[in-house]
Amino acid sequence: MRTSRSLVVVAATASIALLAGCAAEQPSLAPDRKVHSYLEVDKRTFASDDALELLVDETQPGCSGAVGVRGEIVWAGARGIADLSTGTEVTTATRFDMASVAKQFTATAILMLQREGKLALSDTIGTYIEGLPAWGSKVTLDQLMHHTSRVRDYWVALDDDGLGFSDPVSHEYTLDAIRRMTRLSDTIGYEYSNSNYVLLAEVVQRVSGEPFPQFLDERIFTPLGLDMVLSPGLIAPDVALSYDDNLNYQPPGWAAYGAIGIYTTPSELARWGDQYRAGDIIQDDFAVGASDEGTGEFYAAGMDIEVDGDLNHNGRFGGYVTTFTVSADRETTIAVMCNGHLSNRFGLADALWEIWGTPADSATDAPSDETDGADDSEGVEEG
């Protein structure tokens, strides 16, 4: 879900109007494109650059954003610092952990195996994973995917073990921690839990017979030409470092698959978003069985279906924060990734939606001040 719009957006969208009167007419794009002319792309590009400069401090942990229209990147920009100790700047090629946005890839893998007849969402998790408590014979893959399983979040168990975010914790240790949680939550209906997706990733490994990172690479990333890798805790020259509220470096230690740990750029995420419009890996079954979150939104296969029909998922893991949204008509995707917990991901994303998510003839309208109720208080990881 997206947050309330910043007044800074007014400045960004107003720049479109200023540019409109001084630019020469340009050739039209192909008739099947939603972006109507090169002129409009230029105006929106300038406005996006202005929004980035206004909303992201160049001296702090940074943000990178991208806009895709029908699978083509029409704008990408970055600002801020990737490594405060060296002053290395964030660029559009800088990679981030997408955090909980990774859940849609885990859900997609499960649906691919169901289409192939290798599992069914009605199967219980105990069918595939041994050693679970009594709930293993009752909780289904469908309930895990849609966060209605009532299996408690594994970070509670890790906290009980005295393991903080930066302590090394393997996928196997996390799985054992989930096995030790014998009591289900008392809630009824939707309850977000990262444990659900760790269990689903383990199912993919058991059913496919190959490591989960390899499955994603061979079945999703490589076929689509996406520069993505599942490698929790990845450290590389082009990977932004994670910073907490006090600008302290937070090396990520938790390495469980399924809920987090995919590294990429916003441009690659925006390209992936076109799967929801015209993909063959994402199909209509992604919305089957979506659970009512009690807010008017529904949780589908690792994606929220919002009241207005947009698809959205947010993510936070340590200092890595991401927001990813596909428009209701599935034409436009916007992704913003940052490496500081206090980074203004929602402000930048809202500004980009004001610029790119509106028809060309209304792009200069002043944004409203309404709030859509997004909350960024869900602990270590978020949905």
d(CA 255, CA 169) in angstroms, rounded, equals: 6
Contact present, 120 and 203 (Cβ < 8 Å) = no
Q: How far apart are CA 48 and CA 63, in angstroms?
A: 13
Contact 357, 75 (CB under 8 A): no
Q: 3-state secondary structure string, the chain?
A: CCCCCCCHHHHHHHHHHHHHCCCCCCCECCCCCCCCEHHHHHHHHHHHHHHHHHHCCCCCECEEEEEEECCEEEEEEEECEEECCCCEECCCCCEEECHHHHHHHHHHHHHHHHHCCCCCCCCEHHHCCCCCCHHHHCCEHHHHHCCCCCCCCHHHHHHHCCCCCCCCECHHHHHHHHHCCCCCCCCCCCCCCHHHHHHHHHHHHHHHCCCHHHHHHHHHHHHHCCCCEECCCCCCCCECCCECCCCCECCCCECCCCCCCEEECHHHHHHHCCHHHHCCCCCHHHHCCCEECCCCCEECCCCEECCCCCEEEEEEECCEEEEEEECCCCCEEEEEEECECCCCHHHHHHHHHHHHCCCHHHCCCCCCCCCCCCCCCCCCCCC
pLDDT score recorded for residue 40: 74
Tell which residue, 79, 39, 46, has the closest CA to residue 63.
Answer: 79
Q: What local confidence, expressed as pLDDT, does residue 31 receive? A: 34
CA-wise closest residue to 127 among 48, 202, 221, 214: 202
Reply yes or no on domain 96-264 having CATH 3.40.710.10: yes
> What local confidence, expressed as pLDDT, does residue 376 receive?
36
Q: What is the pLDDT of residue 38?
A: 53
pLDDT in single tens digits along all 383 residues of the chain: 444 444 444 444 444 443 333 333 333 333 333 444 555 778 999 999 999 999 999 999 999 999 999 999 999 999 999 999 999 999 999 999 999 999 999 999 999 999 999 999 999 999 999 999 999 999 999 999 999 999 999 999 999 999 998 999 999 999 999 999 999 999 999 999 999 999 999 999 999 999 999 999 999 999 999 999 999 999 999 999 999 999 999 999 999 999 999 999 999 999 999 999 999 999 999 999 999 999 999 999 999 999 999 999 999 999 999 999 999 999 999 999 999 999 999 999 999 999 998 644 333 332 232 323 333 333 455 54
At 363 the pLDDT is 35
pLDDT of residue 51: 97
Per domain, the residue ranges of the chain are: 1-94+296-383, 96-264
At 42 the pLDDT is: 87
d(CA 50, CA 58): 13
d(CA 214, CA 199): 17
Q: How many CB atoms sit inside 10 A of residue 8's CB?
A: 18
